[in-house]
Amino acid sequence: MTKIKRVTKSLKINPILWKEIKIYCAKEEKDISDYIEELAMKDLKR
């Protein structure tokens, strides 16, 4: 994935889901932003 300049945005998310995402990313040693971008790219088929 090509890295481009990122901007900070806020989003509303279920706090339980957010906690699960943080735990998952910590275990996988992934940055949360990278994880969310990967999910979006997969859904958008990029």
Tens-of-pLDDT digits for all 46 residues of the chain? 566 788 999 999 999 999 999 999 999 999 999 999 999 999 998 7
Q: Is residue 31 part of a domain?
A: yes
Q: Give the global pTM.
A: 0.76
Q: Output the pLDDT for position 29.
A: 97
Classify residue 27: in a domain, yes or no: yes
pLDDT value for 27: 98
Amino acid in position 5: K
Q: What is the pLDDT of residue 28?
A: 97
Query: What range does the domain containing 26 cover?
Result: 15-44
Number of folded domains that form the chain: 1
Rounded distance between C-alpha atoms, residue 20 and residue 6, angstroms: 24
pLDDT value for 23: 98
Distance of alpha carbon 42 from alpha carbon 46, whole angstroms? 6
Contacts of 19 (CB under 8 A, 6+ apart): none
